[in-house]
Amino acid sequence: MSLVRTRQVVLVGFMGAGKTSVGEALACRLAWDFVDLDAEIVRRSGRSIDAWFMESGEQAFRVAEAEIGNDVLREQDVVVASGGGWAVEAGRLAGLSGDTVSVWLDVDASEALRRVEDDVSLRPLLSGEGALRKAHEMLNQRRSAYGLAEVRVDTNGQSVEDVTSRVLAILETREREQKPNE
């Protein structure tokens, strides 16, 4: 499938929403590049996500995430899997360019936690005791920010393939429905 009016797709949503897996599959189907923002932060800084949080603190991580995110979003024909906190910053989704489609991969807290329990080192915010309570609270606080994405796809009980096909179908419909000068 090829898109004409869309030049970037940004996946947002909570930890465990499937942003990386769906992003990879989506980029493959579109024959576009794929960038995972967390992986890019680790690659450029030479530090793990865990190290960022433990040694420099969340605020410093957010600054790096914002800077590297801006840089990555200069690319064209790219699917970007953002980190779960990226879209939470005020104005972030509203500030995307007109040829970027933002997609919220929605997931319940309990399913999110099930999906990430093998790899909490990438998610220091969910480590330790009371992870489910923390996930519920965080998701409730963030829901309205994620809801500013142009498209929402429910991923609960869905495979990566199902979600990817759903996103592609939405992108295709969106392209068809847009007038040529939009």
Least gap, CB of 174 to ligand S3P (angstroms): 24
Beta bridge partner(s), residue 35: 80
Rg (C-alpha) for the chain, rounded Å, is: 16
DSSP state at residue 155: -
83 binds ligand S3P (CB under 6 A): yes
Helix (H) or strand (E) holding 36: strand 33-36
Least gap, CB of 170 to ligand S3P (angstroms): 21
Among 71-79, 80-88, 145-153, 169-177, the segment contacting ligand S3P (CB under 6 A):
80-88
Nearer to ligand S3P, 3 or 88 (CB): 88
Q: Applying CB under 6 A, which of residues 38, 40, 106, 111 lies at the interface with ligand S3P?
A: 38
Query: What is the number of H-type helices and E-type strands within the chain?
Result: 7, 5
Cα 17 from Cα 155, distance rounded (Å):
7
Q: Applying CB under 6 A, which of residues 49, 73, 87, 107 lies at the interface with ligand S3P?
A: 49
64 binds ligand S3P (CB under 6 A): no
Site string for ligand S3P, 91-130 (x = CB under 6 A): -------------------------------xxxx-----
Tokens 């590297």 correspond to: 68
Contact yes or no for 149/101 (Cβ under 8 A): no
In 31-130, which residue ranges form alpha helices assigned H by DSSP? 37-45, 49-51, 58-72, 109-116
Q: Interface residues for ligand S3P in 137-166 (CB under 6 A)?
A: none
170 binds ligand S3P (CB under 6 A): no
DSSP state at residue 94: T
Binding residues vs ligand S3P (CB under 6 A): 15, 19, 38, 49, 83-85, 122-125
